[in-house]
């Protein structure tokens, strides 16, 4: 199976007093077994909402529509909420940006890990669940794991707290970890430790990882493939090395040129001009048009994601099939 998670035609909208927010607007995306997929884009581009939608975590009046969302061949859209809840946490785990709010401050780490294990493996012996909890804390590099089980979330430093969240997420040995900006709040050294840890776990547990970030540098270092998002749509996908070496979409090019660590040495560092579009007033044409140096008249008409090679696609009139 070349696909663990498949998303087709995903649209998520939120009615607001300013109008209808089209947060996610026609996303097609695959996550393959064992891979690390980077999902990158500026804040507000729809990264989090895409995966909250997949997990059934968008609350009304938010509305999720899709042609299909399949996980291991099962259509999640046809499942009852209780069945989706069972998959979430057992087969698909999520870590959120802010570990302090994601963890429950009132309970020890032991309670939280053991409860996660019990929720998805009903009937597991207490002692076994506790042993697994210790093993998970060790695995994520928490020193003195057995004693630390009794600690509360606030008794850990920021980096250790992220590790605890990863430990809880991985306690059920998921097939897929969705890591939403797992390191944004952390300093650079700890950032790379947490990312190393996630990568190590991916290899050891044979799981897939979706790494959501606004930092293309992190994606370039860590991810096999990348999906670049802009204004609720995927604008470019492909193997990370190829996309970074030869970006097709002008937005991807702009992102690369605005990044000190990735900018090509012979090109000056330039921020992308202009601002992201208002999500209640999105045009039917290319959404990058107002900021694009290559825009021509036809760009005002709808532009679909065009396959360039078997592995690459871009939502731009400049995307041509490679020969
Ligand atoms: N509950 C909500 N109600 C209204 N708008 C929302 C809600 N959640 C997200 N949005 C909007 O959806 C868009 C995408 O948000 P999000 O997926 O969180 O972006 P990202 O994760 O890429 O920063 C943004 O314009 C955001 O303001
Ligand atoms: S479709 Fe046109 S406006 Fe949009 S990114 Fe491509 S060239 Fe620029
Ligand atoms: Mg987000």
Domain residues of the chain, as ranges?
Answer: 102-173
Nearest ligand to the CA of 17 is: 1
Inter-residue contact 203 to 177 (CB < 8 Å): no
Q: What is the DSSP letter of 310?
A: S
pLDDT digits (tens, 9 = 90+) for 42-71: 999 999 999 999 988 899 999 999 999 999
| DSSP per-residue string spanning 66-128 | -SEEEETTEEGGGS-HHHHHHHHHHTEEEE-S-HHHHS-TTS-HHHHHHHHHHHHSTT--HHH
**Pick from 34, 94, 55, 66: which is nearest to 225 by CA?**
34
Do you know the residue count of the chain?
Answer: 323
Nearest ligand to the CA of 318 is: 2
Measured in Å, residue 233 CA sits from the centre of ligand 2 at: 14
Which of 49, 216, 234 for a ligand 1 pocket mutation test, highest count of atoms within 8 Å of Cβ?
A: 49
Ligand 2 atom 1 nearest Cα: 316
Nearest ligand to the CA of 294 is: 2
Q: What is the DSSP letter of 265?
A: T
Measured in Å, residue 124 CA sits from the centre of ligand 1 at: 38
pLDDT for 166: 86
User: What is the CB < 6 Å shell around ligand 2?
Assistant: 249-250, 286, 288-289, 292, 294-295, 299, 303, 316-318
**Cis, peptide link before residue 61, omega less than 30° from 0:** yes
Q: Are strands 5-16 and 92-95 parallel, antiparallel or unpaired?
A: unpaired
The residue with tokens 């999105």 is: 282
Q: Which strands form 92-95's sheet, in the order they lie side by side?
A: 92-95, 176-180, 208-213, 36-40, 225-230, 233-239, 313-314, 306-307
CA-to-CA separations, 169 to 147, 201, 294, in angstroms, rounded: 20, 11, 44
Specify the 3-state DSSP secondary structure of 13.
strand
pLDDT for 213: 93
pLDDT for 323: 56
pLDDT for 190: 77
pLDDT for 212: 96
Which residues are registered as beta bridge partners of 29? 7
Tens place of pLDDT per residue across the chain (323 aa): 589 999 999 999 999 999 999 999 999 999 999 999 999 999 999 999 999 999 888 999 999 999 999 999 999 989 988 888 888 878 999 887 666 667 888 999 999 999 888 877 889 999 999 999 998 898 888 999 999 999 999 999 888 888 898 888 888 789 999 999 887 767 777 778 889 989 998 998 899 999 999 889 899 999 999 999 999 999 999 999 999 999 999 999 999 888 766 655 565 667 788 888 999 999 999 999 999 999 999 999 999 999 999 999 999 999 987 65
pLDDT for 223: 97
Measured in Å, residue 292 CA sits from the centre of ligand 2 at: 6
Nearest-angstrom CA–CA distance, 153 and 112: 10
Q: Are strands 19-31 and 68-71 parallel, antiparallel or unpaired?
A: unpaired
pTM summary value: 0.91
């Amino acid at each position: 199976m070349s696909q663990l998670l498949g998303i087709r035609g995903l649209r998520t909208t939120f009615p607001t007093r300013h109008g209808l927010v089209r947060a996610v607007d026609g996303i097609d995306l695959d996550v393959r077994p064992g891979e690390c997929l980077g999902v990158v884009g500026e804040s507000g581009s729809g990264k989090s909402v895409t995966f909250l939608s997949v997990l059934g975590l968008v609350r009304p009046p938010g509305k999720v529509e899709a042609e299909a969302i399949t996980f291991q061949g099962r259509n999640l859209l046809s499942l009852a909420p209780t069945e989706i809840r069972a998959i979430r946490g057992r087969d698909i785990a999520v870590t959120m940006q802010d570990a302090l709010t994601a963890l429950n401050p009132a309970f020890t780490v032991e309670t939280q890990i053991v409860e996660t294990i019990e929720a998805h493996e009903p009937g597991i012996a207490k002692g076994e669940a506790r042993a697994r909890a210790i093993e998970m804390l060790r695995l994520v590099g928490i020193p003195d794991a057995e004693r630390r089980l009794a600690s509360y979330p606030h008794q850990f430093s920021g980096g250790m707290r992220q590790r605890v969240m990863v430990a809880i997420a991985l306690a059920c040995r998921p097939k897929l970890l969705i890591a939403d900006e797992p390191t944004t709040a952390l300093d650079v050294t700890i950032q790379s430790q947490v990312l190393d840890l996630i990568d190590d776990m991916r290899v050891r547990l044979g799981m897939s990882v979706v790494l959501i970030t606004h930092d293309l540098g992190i994606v370039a270092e860590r991810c096999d493939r990348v999906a670049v998002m802009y204004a609720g749509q995927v604008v470019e996908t492909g193997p990370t090395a190829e996309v970074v070496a030869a970006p097709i979409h002008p937005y991807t090019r702009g992102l690369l040129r605005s990044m000190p660590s990735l900018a090509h040495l012979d090109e000056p560092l330039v921020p992308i001009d202009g601002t992201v579009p208002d999500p209640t007033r999105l045009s039917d044409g290319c959404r990058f048009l107002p900021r694009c140096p290559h825009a021509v008249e036809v760009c005002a008409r709808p532009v679909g994601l065009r396959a360039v090679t078997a592995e690459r696609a871009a939502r731009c009139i400049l995307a041509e099939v490679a020969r």
